[in-house]
């Protein structure tokens, strides 16, 4: 994996562990020679991931919609800052520029990015690993909900392993690097759907 799209919040929660985690994720990716592709903001966990990676000498590509560039939200310290028209173009750029997706704690926008990466993987728009860092148990309920979707039959057996989740970054990155793509919906026979 040469680059990972990192999905995370633009907020700074009161609990300082989250910002520290984001900074450590950016730093560790840089130490491993993995570039960061992220939302291009300088605030919250987003800004912490970018700072951690840049301070460790890593590559950071920010992708930000025009509407968010003003108001000093854009991070002009990135290795490269790409300004796009909208969120759809931003997420397409994340997919085109990265070799996988790493989701750390975040809110609604982070969930949108995560689930789109999962959905696109199911369909066959990409065959890249989708990692979920369940730090501090933040994603316990989401993991349980995904298991519920699997148990009720809304996630096909072939797609049950798309989300790779771990509570430790090192183990998650190891599992993401070893990820074996599944059979996408586009390649399935009608009888298997």
Q: Output phi, psi for 77, to 5 deg.
A: -85, -5
Q: Which residues, at least 6 apart from 25, have a Cβ–Cβ distance to it below 8 Å?
A: 6, 49, 52, 102, 104, 133, 169
Give the pLDDT confidence score for residue 71 in this predicted structure.
Answer: 65
User: Domains of the chain by range and CATH?
Assistant: 3-192 (3.40.50.450)
Reported confidence tier of residue 172, pLDDT bands at 50, 70, 90: very high
Reported confidence tier of residue 178, pLDDT bands at 50, 70, 90: very high
Q: What is the dihedral of CA 103, 19, 53, 2, to 10 degrees?
A: -10
pLDDT at 185 over 90: no
What is the tens place of the pLDDT at every residue in 63-111? Answer: 999 999 876 689 999 999 999 999 999 999 999 999 999 999 999 999 9
Which residue, among 183, 189, 140, has the nearest Cα to 161 in the 3D structure? 183
CB hemisphere CA count around 70 (13 angstroms): 2
What is the tens place of the pLDDT at every residue in 21-32? Answer: 999 999 999 999
**CA–CA gap between residue 146 and residue 69 (Å, rounded):** 34
**CA–CA gap between residue 100 and residue 49 (Å, rounded):** 16
Give the chain's mean pLDDT.
Answer: 95
Tokens coding 135:
């730090």
pLDDT at 166 over 90: yes
Read off the pLDDT of each residue in 36-44 and give the average, rounded to a whole number: 96
What is the tens place of the pLDDT at every residue in 111-142? Answer: 999 999 999 999 999 999 999 999 999 999 99
Which residue, among 46, 56, 58, 57, has the nearest Cα to 21 in the 3D structure? 46
Give the pLDDT confidence score for residue 191 in this predicted structure.
Answer: 74
């Amino acid at each position: 994996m040469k680059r990972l799209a990192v999905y995370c919040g633009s907020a700074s929660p009161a609990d300082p562990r989250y910002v520290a985690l984001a900074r450590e994720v950016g730093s560790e990716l840089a130490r491993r020679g993995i570039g960061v592709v992220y939302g291009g903001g300088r605030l919250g966990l987003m800004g912490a991931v970018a700072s951690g990676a840049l301070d460790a000498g890593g590559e950071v590509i920010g992708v930000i919609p025009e509407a968010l560039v003003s108001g000093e939200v854009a991070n002009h310290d990135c290795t490269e800052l790409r300004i796009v028209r909208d969120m759809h173009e931003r997420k397409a750029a994340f997919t085109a520029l990265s070799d996988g997706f790493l989701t750390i704690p975040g809110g609604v926008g982070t969930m949108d990015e995560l689930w789109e990466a999962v959905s696109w993987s199911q369909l066959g728009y990409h065959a890249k690993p989708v990692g979920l860092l369940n730090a501090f148990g933040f994603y316990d309920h989401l993991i349980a909900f995904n298991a519920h979707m699997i148990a009720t039959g809304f996630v096909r057996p072939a797609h049950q392993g798309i989300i790779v989740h771990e509570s430790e970054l090192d183990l998650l990155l190891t599992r993401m690097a070893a990820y074996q793509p599944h059979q996408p919906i586009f390649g399935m026979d009608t009888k298997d759907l």
